Each structure stands twice: as C-alpha cells, then as structure tokens.
Homo-oligomer: A and B are copies of this chain.
Amino acid sequence: MKKKNETILQAFRGEKTDYTPVWFMRQAGRSQPEYRKLKEKYSLFEITHQPELCAYVTRLPVEQYGVDAAILYKDIMTPLPAIGVDVEIKTGIGPVIDQPIETKSDVEKLGTIDPESDVPYVMDTIRLLTKEQLDVPLIGFSGAPFTLASYMIEGGPSKNYHRTKAMMYRDPATWFALMERLADTTITYVKAQIKAGAQAIQIFDSWVGALSVPDYRYYIKPIMERIFTELKDENVPLILFGVGASHLIMEWNDLPVDVIGIDWRISIKEARDLGITKPLQGNLDPAILLSDWKTIEERTKAIIDQGRDLPAHIFNLGHGVTPEIDPAILKKVTELVHHYSKQ
C-alpha cells in the first residue's frame, strides 16, 4: 500500500526531501504511559503475540509524536525460539539463555525458521499495520548474527563478549557455521517481513562495536556482505546500526547497505569527512533528552545542520529511548526536526 508519507523512504534512498524525516529507536514501549497502562492488564508475551495489541503499541508513537516511520514492537530475540534457542527476557537483566551454544554440534542442532508458521503473530502484526492502520512506512528489523550469537554464547548480556570472541578465535569452524545459520535466519525472517509489508529494514548489530577492525573484516564482514546481498533484491532500504561502532563504519560503507546508523561518539560531519558516502541516520545521545529544552534544541539543530547536504539524513537517536524519557519531549523534538529542517 502506498503511504501518505513516504518521505523517509526517499531519505533512505539518499534523495533530497522537503524536510529531515525522523524516527526514534525504541520509540514504542516503556517510555509511554499508554504502554505502561497496557502492561498492567497484559504480559509482554501477550502484547507481542496478539497482533491487535502489538499493532497498537507500534503505531502509538506515530500518532502521538508524528514520526515518519513506525518500527515493529518486537525484541531482536523473536526469531530465536523458532530455531531452537530457549530465550527468556528477564526484567532488569535482558535476554537470558540457559543453554548457551558451545560446540559445533550445538550449532548443528539449530533449525531453520518458517516465519509464517513459527512467528505468525509477527507477520499478522505487520499486515495489520501496513495494509490498514499506518500512513507512514513500517520499518521491520532483525538482530545481526554477531549480536544474536553474543547472547547465544554468553547466555545473556555481556560486558566484554569474551566467550563469544573465544569461540571466534579458537574455533572458527564453529563460529562461521553459527554465523551462517544466523544469517539464514536473518535473511528468511527479514524477507518474510518485507513480503508482509515492511517497507524498510534495520539490522541491529548492536554490540559488534566490541570488535577491532581486523576482527570485523575477517569474522563478520563476509557474513554481512551475504545478508545484504541477498536482501538487496527485495528492493527495500536496508539500514545497519550498532552502538559504539564508529570505528567500523568505513567497513559498513563497503557493504551493499543503504543507510548507516551512528551513535553520538561520531558526528554526522566527522562521518562524512571520514568518507561515508551513504545516507546517515542518527545521532542524538538519548541522555540529552533528559536535559533542559535549550540544550535539546541546540544539539538537535546542530545535527540537522550537519545533515543538510546530500545524501539525505534521517534524524534519530544514537541508541534507544529509555523508560525515563518524557514522551512530550519526543513529540517536541519531532516537531523541531520537521520545522527546522525546512528552513
């Protein structure tokens, strides 16, 4: 379905737009009082597994803030149970996996995903949103192999990813087997999302910034090359994002990806000066949103000004919205981005 507002898709393609489009990572969820109210009645499982509820949560920030895209309200762990990984999201900790992957045989036991039968609620939510409810594009997404593998190997969130890196260095055969399985999962999962109606895809390689450039080149880049090459044919814009990964973005610039998402550790200007030729997405530190309006306004304007040249810029945060951030501020920032970027 053609959306009323497709500005963000133009920007993802690097084209000139009337204004700078904006969305916020983790714009839906715990920062919103409507979500917290819903959580009093329904569990996280119910919200994510009931398309009507999940669609409601997904479109709330579009209706309330006027952002230029919705992003599916899901966790990056969503496809993992389908391939045989038992994940539990624990409050205050994050995803916990009781039986971490250790050996080649653990990897070989992993299955494949059939999104329509394994995660039908995801596909139904996308259809509901894109065919009926949204007048802006829906961004689908997936975790990238390194980031998914880090949870699967560490058994949960990690500070230093030493178990993950140890497998990478010590047992490259197992490592690459795992990467290929997760690439298969990502590709199949994302293609299904696109078929269901998602008009852009963000790949979250959230924690890959823990690697050095030589390690990224050897252990990760070929897998990402394969993923983006296979997804390229689908003809929807592909965004790649990671936290603390500014040392890797020149590697990303080589990949067949459309948009590079950056955090506040590098500025839009510095990324351009470095030689990034693709559209950039970002990069306000979400912590700035806890500041006074004067500071928020200054920092937001500075980012917009740096992003005025082609290829286009998509305004976003450098990481997700956290629960303590005031929705009224997100609305005000959205208006500021739209208004100021027209000047």
Any chain B CB within 8 A of the CB of A295? yes
Say yes or no: A265 contacts B247, CB within 8 Å. yes
Say yes or no: A162 contacts B287, CB within 8 Å. yes
Query: Whole-angstrom distance between the alpha carbons of A164 and B213 in the complex?
Result: 30
Within 8 A of B (CB), among A220-245: 244
Question: Which chain B residue lies CB-closest to A264?
Answer: B212
Within 8 A of B (CB), among A250-280: 264-267
Question: Which chain B residue lies CB-closest to A246?
Answer: B247
Say yes or no: A169 contacts B291, CB within 8 Å. yes
Q: A160-B319, A247-B266, A319-B160 are in contact. Are A290 and B212 (CB under 8 A)?
A: no
Task: From the candidates B165, B244, B266, B286, name the one contacting A285 in the complex (CB within 8 A).
Answer: B165
Any chain B CB within 8 A of the CB of A128? no
Question: Which chain B residue lies CB-closest to A284?
Answer: B212
Chain copies in complex:
2
Within 8 A of B (CB), among A273-325: 285-288, 290-292, 295, 319, 322, 324
Query: Which bucket holds chain A's interface residue count?
Result: 20 to 34
Residues of B contacting A264 with CB < 8 Å?
212
Say yes or no: A212 contacts B285, CB within 8 Å. yes
Nearest-CB distance from A272 to chain B (Å)? 15
Give 22 A-B contacts (CB < 8 Å), ordered by A residue. A160-B286, A160-B287, A160-B319, A162-B286, A162-B287, A162-B290, A162-B322, A165-B285, A165-B287, A165-B288, A165-B290, A169-B291, A169-B295, A170-B291, A209-B244, A212-B264, A212-B265, A212-B267, A212-B285, A213-B267, A244-B244, A246-B247
The 8 nearest A-B residue pairs measured at CB: A169-B291, A165-B287, A166-B290, A212-B264, A247-B265, A162-B287, A244-B244, A169-B295
